[in-house]
Amino acid sequence: MKKLYFYFLFVNVLLIASCVDKKADHVQVKIMGTSDVHGALFPYDLVGDRETETSLSQVYAYVDGERKKGESEIVLLDNGDILQGDPLVYYSNFEKTETKHICAEIMNFMQYDAATIGNHDIEPGHEVYDRLVKEYQFPWMAANAVRNSDGKTYFKPYTIIERKGVKIAVLGLITPAIPKWLPEKIWSGIHFKPMIESAKKWMKIIQEKEKPDFVVGLFHSGAGEEHKGEESNPENASILVAKNVSGIDMVICGHDHQENVLWIENPDKEKVLVINPKSRARYIAEVTIDFTLDPQTKKYIKAMKPNLVEVKDISVSKEYNEKFQPLFDEVKNYVSRPVGTFKKSITTKDAMFGDSPFIDLIQNIQMDLAEADISFAAPLSYNAKIDSGELQVRDLFKLYRFENLLYTMNLTGKEIHGFLEFSYKDWFQKMEKASDPMLFIEKTDKGNRLSTMFFNYDSAEGIDYEVDLTKAYGNRVKILRMSNGEAFDEAKTYRVALNSYRGNGGGNHLTTGAGLSKEELISRLVNSTTKDLRYYLMKWIEKKGTVDIHCNQNWKVVPEAWHAAAKKREYELLYGEE
């Protein structure tokens, strides 16, 4: 009897093993990906208080419809940067932290299979992303984010997803440039390895251990056409990985907010698909893969068909909206809360051309909070406006878009001068005559726009100075005095207020401009706030109650007649008539 029992047990084991190993002759899989959602959870702009065209509600409606059709096996992936960019996520990040994060609630409901963490998901700090790792019901990955203490990955490096016997490996990588932008306390205990190096390491492990039928690179990094391979650790390296690492079938990239479908040749002369669904749920990256089993090799022949699904053409999901409406309403009430009163309206439009009330407001708040001698700030929005009258929480998101911390640093007068020279280099062009262009403006199919990054247009408060449009870089800025009447000394060390992005080397104002090394940046840091600058701006305005905003006119552009004429014609080019 015992022999008979073991015989049947043995037969059952063989049958189970044969079923596990058996591959279907044909399987169709649809891999769907979102990237850089930036809090677009509902089709509504809580800052502007208006409806929008795209959101995860529509993404869910489309994915749910495809699942119900049953024609394909669905795999849903996200490529990072969802935790920044909207009051909905800000509220869960920093205000209401005792309950499950709104992104965990929504993404678990949508049944995401895997996601890669983005740089803006690191930005809220350890408390937020460490909490979400536990709350997500899917792996949150980054194979090149490595723990300092033991050399192991801080997040899961990859995951395996199976659909009807087809084994799909998903490898996650994050842009390694995080230390350039974010203070170390935010990513303490982690270092970020180059993407190509990490991809080669983990692809070897995946192929040897998992033997997958298909490999997806889920890379929170831009395509990177601008990189020619000379950088050892480029920010945008998705194409470089596709070109240099064998075994990857397709890459979903992001971070650069572009819309791309590209085919790249890898080292084995095989075609690799690189697809990017832009940002804010505007597109779904949809790749249909037909797996046909070769009877000789017992391996799948794979045929990929890529598509970018435009989300604005999709209706919202009633089920999704009804389920999460209470969360949305709670945050809408939060952003509608009054925090103070502005006597005058302010706009960032003026900040593109010279000293402006909008920037002076931020400068004065920074100087006050940091007890600084000098402050640096740039316009973080191209066309934001805050009307006079009651100021609500939502207006703070217009006033200050990003979750930067406030830094206080020690800089010499010479370094401050170099910083400003660098800032104006890509802000104003050198003019030979009054009719020459002043700003860097280019014409596009969608109209005129600035071709340089306005969020790097830093000006200074606390000093009086002139910017000469007729002079070349290095000789354009003439610092006249401290604004309190004291002499400005290039040899003296000053206490300077600026945001953490700039203080950490972002934009290269402190490195290329002021000539400081990364190590020197760290040593010059006197103090950093523990919460984001927007929080302190809110508290400052609440304390003041009524804010009367003035432009200090502590700096001007010369020749003044040239500047006035150029400002008038270029304002009309960018914004139309006043």
Considering the domain architecture, whether residues 444 and 396 belong to the same structural domain is answered as yes
Q: Say yes or no to pLDDT of 415 above 50.
A: yes
Are 511 and 540 in a shared domain? yes
What is the residue-averaged pLDDT of the chain? Answer: 94
Identify each DSSP E strand in 86-241 by its residue range: 114-116, 140-141, 145-147, 158-163, 166-174, 190-192, 214-220
- Cα 243 from Cα 249, distance rounded (Å): 11
Helix (H) or strand (E) holding 411: strand 406-412
Same structural domain, 266 and 351? no
Instruction: Tell me whether residue 2 is in a domain.
Output: no
- Residues 309 and 385 reside in one and the same domain: no
Q: Are 508 and 384 contained in the same domain?
A: yes
Shared-domain flag, residues 105 and 40: yes
Domain housing 357: 338-575
pLDDT of residue 321: 98
Pick the last residue of a domain from 332, 364, 393. Answer: 332
Q: Are residues 235 and 348 in the same domain?
A: no
pLDDT tops 60 at residue 13: no
pLDDT of residue 77: 99
Number of domains in the chain: 2
Give domain status of residue 305, yes or no.
yes
Q: What's the rounded mean pLDDT across residues 267-291? A: 98
Domain membership of residue 18 (yes or no) is no
pLDDT digit string (tens) for 418-436?
999 999 999 999 999 999 9
Specify the pTM. 0.88
pLDDT at residue 578 in the model: 65
One domain for residues 384 and 321? no
575/578 Cα distance (integer angstroms): 8
- Is position 59 within any domain? yes
Task: Say if residue 465 is in the same domain as residue 537.
Answer: yes
Which pLDDT value is given to residue 453? Answer: 95
CATH number at residue 361: 3.90.780.10
* Confidence check: pLDDT of 17 > 50: no
pLDDT computed for residue 232 by the predictor: 73
Cα gap 400→378, rounded to integer Å: 10
User: Residue 11: inside a domain, yes or no?
Assistant: no
Please state, in angstroms and rounded to a whole number, the distance separating the CA atoms of residues 234 and 317.
Answer: 39
CATH code, domain with 91:
3.60.21.10
Residues 228 and 324 in one domain: yes
Q: Is residue 7 part of a domain?
A: no
Tell me, yes or no, whether 325 and 362 share the same domain: no
N- to C-terminal Cα separation, the chain: 96
pLDDT in tens, 427-468: 999 999 999 999 999 998 888 999 999 999 999 999 999 999
